[in-house]
Amino acid sequence: MTDYAVVNPATGETVASYDTATDEQIERAVASAASAAKVWGATAPADRAGVIRRIAELHRERKDELGAIIVREMGKPIAAAVGEVEFAADIIEYYADNIEVITADQPLQIVGEGSALVRRAPLGALLGIMPWNFPAYQVARFAAPNLAIGNTIILKHAPQCPESAAAIEAIYRDAGLPEGAYVNVYATNEQAATIIADPRVQGVSVTGSERAGAAVAEVAGRNLKKVALELGGSDPFIVLSTDDLDSVVQLAVDARLDNNGQSCNGAKRFVIVDELYEEFTSKFVASLAAVSAEDPTQEDTVLGPLSSLAAAERLQEQVDTAVAQGARVLTGGTREGAFFAPTVLADVTPEMDVYREELFGPAAVVYRVADEDAAVELANDTAFGLGSYVFTTDAEQAERVANRIEAGMVYVNIALADSPELPFGGVKRSGTSRELGLLAADEFVNKKLIRTA
Q: Which residues are catalytic?
A: 230, 264
Question: Please, are residues 296 and 340 in contact by the beta-carbon 8 Å criterion?
Answer: no
CA pair distance 203, 176, nearest whole angstrom: 24
- CA distances 174 to 95, 198, 256, Å, are 18, 28, 37
CA pair distance 181, 189, nearest whole angstrom: 22
CA pair distance 258, 266, nearest whole angstrom: 7
- CA distances 135 to 82, 293, 359, Å, are 11, 21, 20
Question: How does strand 328-331 pair with strand 343-346?
Answer: antiparallel
Question: Please, are residues 435 and 128 in contact by the beta-carbon 8 Å criterion?
Answer: no
Question: Please, are residues 338 and 310 in contact by the beta-carbon 8 Å criterion?
Answer: no
**400: alpha, beta or left, given left = phi > 0 and alpha = psi -120 to 50?**
alpha
Q: What is the DSSP letter of 104?
A: -
